[in-house]
């Protein structure tokens, strides 16, 4: 995000405080310094040279970059993107952080290698220039998902969010450039991860027409023809869905409709389905106490629902929810929506 665009956005803030309501960090810390409104005031203070970098850096680092403030902002301030860019500027990726990111990605790379030995299932071959944006974790976990069999695999790079939030702008720009090239060449791009879709949607170089091509997997499933497999262990079980903070509201509505239409399961809406899971990629590693407090709130709400299966559509949320199951002693299965469809449904 360019500096002039950032300033323009900062000046749009009317100080209405609507962004405070759903900010998971404010709910835990009760400190205005860690809200979108507080951060915006501080960034404007920095621009006017009333504050120095040191007085903002720490507060920016505590932001989860969940985008809930952006969702609630009546003035359309692109809060999360401003905070990510400013955080990257004030806390540029150091060698230690880059090493940490490399170490974090090692298990993923190792799983890529193991995939070489996996058998590729037969293809249904409805290939076209509808491209599948296969995220890093999906690439590592599965040589093919059913989305590979329906859509064309394209060599997208990481969506860039892990680079941006860790201050590595160089690799973020590299990933963005490659991904934009592929999007421009496609008629549609299908996502199964809400965070990847959101990160790509925020590429400023994409036009409105390009953005219309970015779709979530449920847009392609005819839910009337889908039913539970005969031998599914979730027959007559209660299933809930955790809405990742980065998930578009319309995508969530479609997922709810899709799950409600599956005969044989009891889809139940969580009391507060978009309560943050608190994990936020590497956030847990840097802020384990705040993260665990948020995770616990989510885990308690899931426990109350008496769900037998928890679904979501973001690998980071999946890990956060599994951690929540452990700390709340509620050992129920958590699955990615993509894997649930593949393993449990007849499509
Ligand atoms: S909701 Fe938007 S306009 Fe209102 S205080 Fe927050 S950032 Fe500013
Ligand atoms: S991005 Fe999330 S954590 Fe950060 S200020 Fe906005 S609501 Fe709060």
Per-residue confidence (pLDDT) for residue 120, from 0 to 100: 45
Q: What is the pLDDT of residues 103-132, one digit of tens each?
A: 655 655 555 555 555 544 444 444 568 899
* Mutate-to-test residue for ligand 1 from 6, 12, 16, highest number of ligand atoms within 8 A of CB: 16
DSSP per-residue letters across 147-205:
HHHHSEE------SHHHHHTT-HHHHHHHHHHHHHHHHH-SEEEES-HHHHHHHHT-TT
Residue extents of the structural domains in the chain: 3-90, 95-220, 223-346
Whether 40 lines ligand 1, by a CB cut-off of 6 Å, is yes
For 216, phi and psi rounded to 5 degrees? Answer: -100, 155
Helix, strand or coil for residue 56?
helix
> Ligand 1 pocket, 10 CB below 6 A?
no
Please report the pLDDT score of residue 124 as a whole number: 42
Pocket flag, ligand 2, residue 245 (CB < 6 Å): no
When pLDDT is averaged across residues 47-72 and rounded to a whole number, the result is 90
How far CA 104 is from CA of 113, 127, 281, 283, 302, in Å, comes to 16, 33, 10, 13, 28
Q: Residue whose CA is closest, atom 8 of ligand 2?
A: 23
Q: Is the CB of 77 under 6 A from ligand 2?
A: no
Burial class for 263, CB neighbours closer than 10 Å (0-12, 13-18, 19+): exposed
In 3D space, the residue among 272, 347, 343 whose CA is nearest the CA of residue 302 turns out to be: 272
**Residue of 10, 17, 63, 81 to mutate, ligand 1, most atoms within 8 A of C-beta:** 17
What does the alpha-carbon distance between residue 267 and residue 223 come to, in Å, rounded to a whole number?
Answer: 14
Q: What is the pLDDT of residues 245-275, one digit of tens each?
A: 999 999 999 999 999 999 889 999 999 888 9
Q: Ligand 2 center to residue 24 CA distance, Å?
A: 7
Residue 347 has pLDDT above 90, yes or no: no
Tell the burial category of 105 from Cβ atoms under 10 Å away from its Cβ (0-12, 13-18, 19+). middle
Ligand 2 mean position, distance from CA 60 (Å)? 10
Tell me: the pLDDT tens digits for 10-59? Answer: 999 999 999 999 999 999 999 999 999 999 999 999 999 999 888 898 89
Give, for ligand 2, the residue of 9, 10, 24, 25 to mutate: max count of ligand atoms closer than 8 Å to Cβ: 25
Query: Which of 51, 318, 338, 336 is CA-nearest to residue 217?
Result: 338
Question: Tell me, which fold does domain 223-346 have in CATH?
Answer: Rossmann fold (3.40.50)
pLDDT band at 96 (very low <50, low <70, confident <90, very high): low
pLDDT computed for residue 281 by the predictor? 73
Q: Which of 46-50, 97-101, 318-322, 334-338 has the lowest mean pLDDT?
A: 97-101
């Amino acid at each position: 995000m360019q500096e002039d665009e950032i300033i323009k956005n900062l000046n749009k803030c009317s100080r209405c405080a609507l962004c405070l309501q759903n900010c998971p960090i404010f709910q835990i810390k009760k400190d205005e310094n860690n809200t979108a409104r507080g951060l915006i005031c501080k960034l404007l203070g920095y621009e006017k040279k009333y504050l120095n970098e040191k007085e903002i850096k720490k507060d920016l680092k505590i932001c989860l970059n969940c985008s809930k403030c952006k969702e609630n902002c009546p003035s359309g301030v692109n809060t999360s993107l401003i905070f990510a860019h400013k955080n990257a500027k004030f806390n540029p990726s150091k060698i230690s952080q880059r090493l940490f990111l490399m170490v974090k990605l090692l298990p993923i790379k190792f799983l890529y290698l193991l995939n070489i030995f996996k058998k590729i299932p037969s293809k249904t071959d409805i290939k076209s220039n509808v491209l599948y944006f296969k995220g890093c974790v999906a690439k590592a976990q599965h040589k093919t998902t059913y989305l590979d069999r329906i859509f064309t695999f394209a060599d997208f790079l990481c969506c860039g969010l892990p680079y941006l939030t860790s201050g590595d702008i160089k690799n973020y720009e590299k990933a963005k450039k490659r991904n934009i090239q592929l999007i421009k060449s496609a008629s549609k791009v299908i996502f199964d991860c809400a965070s990847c879709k959101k990160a790509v949607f925020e590429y400023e170089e994409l036009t409105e027409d390009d953005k219309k091509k970015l779709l979530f997997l449920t847009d392609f499933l005819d839910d009337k023809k889908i039913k539970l497999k005969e031998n599914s262990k979730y027959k007559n079980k209660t299933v809930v869905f955790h809405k990742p903070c980065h998930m578009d509201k319309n995508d969530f509505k479609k997922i709810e409709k899709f799950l409600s239409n599956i005969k044989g399961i009891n889809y139940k809406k969580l009391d507060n389905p978009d309560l943050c899971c608190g994990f936020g990629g590497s956030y847990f590693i840097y802020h384990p106490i705040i993260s665990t407090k948020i995770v616990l709130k989510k885990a308690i709400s899931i426990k109350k629902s008496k769900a037998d299966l928890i679904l979501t559509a973001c690998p980071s949320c999946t890990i956060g929810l599994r951690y929540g199951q452990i700390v709340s002693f509620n050992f129920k299965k958590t699955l990615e929506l993509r894997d649930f469809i593949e393993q449990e449904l007849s499509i």
